């Protein structure tokens, strides 16, 4: 894949993720984008919503590599957009409702930033604008075991925060212990610590079936040696 667009689109989010100077972090985030592109079904016409689209990079990249008749829309109520996005991004959910239904929705690295009640609400919102038998693609980080230990040691070094990233908390995260002091907060949760992807799966069962579950960047190694997990979900018929 040609990553020139990634390199040109240098928001603060980009600097910390897919353009990171840390090779492993950069690899993980670029693999996330590649995996999502591979998951999107060859539906014609495609009506794609990126829920929590960040700086809009994914939609702009998708528009470059798949020039076809598509309706593309980003929804991002939390972050400011960088200039030059070629795809419309809205902050008001009513603007999403006015363009429904979508037959594919992506939600990449969003759910880990919210508590369970908000996650459940987001799943319901997504289901309400997704067509019957439409697809939902979700990616979230692996924050348990060895991947979490490595990530949190790096975060401890980078932020110099010895309170949040104390040795006790590092081992709590390694073993998958609850972090109610973090995960029960209302609003946007910046920290990933205490988010466990398996806790998200019960929220899918009412509206979705899991078609695929894939770990990245090394799918054959499972959750113990990967940084992210992808779900390809299909909406159940009403």
| C-alpha to C-alpha distance for 165 and 37, rounded to whole angstroms | 34
| C-alpha to C-alpha distance for 196 and 202, rounded to whole angstroms | 12
> Residue 108: its pLDDT value, please?
92
> Residue 83: its pLDDT value, please?
58
- Dihedral of the CA atoms 162, 189, 32, 124 (nearest 10)? 160
Q: What is the pLDDT of residues 1-34, one digit of tens each?
A: 444 555 555 566 666 666 666 676 676 677 777 7
Q: Domain extents for the chain? A: 4-143+195-235, 144-187
Q: What are the residue ranges in the chain where pLDDT is below 50?
A: 1-3
Q: Which of 176, 122, 180, 125 is nearest to 146 (CA)?
A: 176
Q: Which CATH architecture has domain 4-143+195-235?
A: 3-Layer(aba) Sandwich (3.40)
> Residue 44: its pLDDT value, please?
75
Strands laid side by side in the 102-108 sheet: 89-90, 70-75, 46-51, 102-108, 130-141, 228-235, 208-216
| C-alpha to C-alpha distance for 20 and 13, rounded to whole angstroms | 9
What is this structure's pTM?
A: 0.88
> Residue 42: its pLDDT value, please?
77
> Residue 84: its pLDDT value, please?
61
Query: Residue 74 in contact with residue 56, Cβ under 8 Å?
Result: yes
User: How many whole angstroms from its chain centre is CA 35?
Assistant: 12
> Residue 85: its pLDDT value, please?
67
Q: What is the pLDDT of residues 195-218, one digit of tens each?
A: 999 999 999 999 999 999 999 888
């Amino acid at each position: 894949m040609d990553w020139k667009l990634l390199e040109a689109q240098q928001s603060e989010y980009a600097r910390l993720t897919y353009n990171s100077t840390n090779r492993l972090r950069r690899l993980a985030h670029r693999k996330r984008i590649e995996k999502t592109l591979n998951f999107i079904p060859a539906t014609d016409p495609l009506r794609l919503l990126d829920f929590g689209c960040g700086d809009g990079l994914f939609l702009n990249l998708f528009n470059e590599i798949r020039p076809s008749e598509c309706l593309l829309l980003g929804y991002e109520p939390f972050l400011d957009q960088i200039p030059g996005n070629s795809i419309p991004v809205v902050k008001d959910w009513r603007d999403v409702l006015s363009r429904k239904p979508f037959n594919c929705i992506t939600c990449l690295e969003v759910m880990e930033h919210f508590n369970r009640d908000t996650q459940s609400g987001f799943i319901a919102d997504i289901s309400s604008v997704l067509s019957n038998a439409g697809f939902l693609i979700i990616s979230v980080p692996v924050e348990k075991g060895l991947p979490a230990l490595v990530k949190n040691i790096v975060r401890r070094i980078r932020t110099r925060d010895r309170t949040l990233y104390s040795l006790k908390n590092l081992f709590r995260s390694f073993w998958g212990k609850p972090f109610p002091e973090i995960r029960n907060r209302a609003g946007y949760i910046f920290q990933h610590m205490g988010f466990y992807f398996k806790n998200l799966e019960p929220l899918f069962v009412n509206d979705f079936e899991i078609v695929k579950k894939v770990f990245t960047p090394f799918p054959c190694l499972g959750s113990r040696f990967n940084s992210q997990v992808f779900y390809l979900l299909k909406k159940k018929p009403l």
